[in-house]
């Protein structure tokens, strides 16, 4: 996990890893419920590199039971253990919403997956039935603390997250 006082400028995500994650989120949500994942990797100066993802329900089997995401303490314990064991950090999280909107809901704003200043939360529309080769439909939000968020829209998204070839 990154230091709360230092935000990484950009997270680079390999395109094929992003595509695999999109397809996993689609499958897990089955077009009927939200799904989500943590993006793991290493921070490195001005940029972090995502090297893997782990879906919420792999850490907390109950996470998607209600159709919305409810992540429990046991899931966080499993996440931190995995990060320790694999020497990785949580660089961001991503979850899906129904419909076209990628605006944060009141629940999203009030319950960040990681309430750490600088943490990036992203939202995919249509239960991840969205282009896997682009971030155009992605909602990108940075947690500022005290339940405040910064929104990155349009070209600003590239200030926080980019797809790369590798």
Model confidence at 101, in pLDDT bands (50, 70, 90)?
Answer: very high
**Cβ(141)–Cβ(150) under 8 Å?**
yes
143 is a domain residue: yes
4 is a domain residue: no
Integer distance in angstroms from the first to the last C-alpha of the chain? 22
99 three-class SS: coil
The pLDDT value recorded for residue 151 is 96
Number of independent structural domains in the chain: 1
DSSP letters spanning 33-78: S--EEEEEEEEETTEEEEEEEEEHHHH-TTTTTTSS----HHHHHH
If phi > 0 it is left, if psi is from -120 to 50 it is alpha, else beta; for residue 119 that is: beta
Of 62-76, 88-102, 104-118, 126-140, least confident by mean pLDDT is 62-76
At residue 140, does pLDDT exceed 50? yes
| Pairing between β-strand 148-152 and β-strand 120-124 as defined by DSSP bridges | unpaired
At residue 100, does pLDDT exceed 70? yes
Range of the domain at 67: 10-164
5 is a domain residue: no
Q: For residue 108, what is the domain's CATH number?
A: 3.40.140.10
The pLDDT value recorded for residue 45 is 67
**Cβ(81)–Cβ(38) under 8 Å?**
no
Mean pLDDT of 118-123: 95
pLDDT in tens, 68-90: 899 999 999 999 999 999 999 99
The pLDDT value recorded for residue 7 is 52
Spatial distance between the Cα atoms of 24 and 157, rounded to a whole number of angstroms: 23
2 is a domain residue: no
Spatial distance between the Cα atoms of 156 and 159, rounded to a whole number of angstroms: 5
17 is a domain residue: yes
The pLDDT value recorded for residue 68 is 80
Average pLDDT, the chain: 91
pLDDT in tens, 27-70: 999 999 999 999 999 987 667 899 999 999 999 999 988 878 99
At residue 5, does pLDDT exceed 70? no
The pLDDT value recorded for residue 9 is 65
83 is a domain residue: yes
C-alpha 104: how far from chain center: 13
């Amino acid at each position: 996990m990154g230091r709360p006082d230092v935000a990484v400028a950009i997270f680079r995500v390999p395109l094929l890893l992003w595509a695999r994650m999109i397809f996993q989120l689609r499958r897990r949500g089955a077009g009927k419920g939200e799904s989500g994942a943590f993006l793991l990797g290493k921070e490195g100066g001005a940029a972090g590199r995502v090297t893997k993802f782990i879906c919420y329900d792999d850490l907390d089997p109950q996470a998607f039971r209600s159709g919305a995401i409810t992540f429990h303490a046991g899931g966080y314990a499993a996440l931190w253990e995995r990060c320790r064991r694999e020497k990785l950090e949580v660089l961001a999280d991503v979850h899906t919403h129904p419909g076209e909107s990628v605006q944060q809901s009141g629940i999203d704003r009030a319950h960040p997956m990681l309430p750490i200043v600088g943490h990036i939360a992203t939202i995919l529309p249509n239960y991840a039935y969205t282009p896997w080769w682009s971030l155009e439909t992605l909602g990108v939000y940075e947690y500022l603390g005290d339940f405040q968020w910064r929104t990155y829209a349009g070209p600003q998204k590239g200030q926080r997250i980019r797809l790369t070839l590798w």
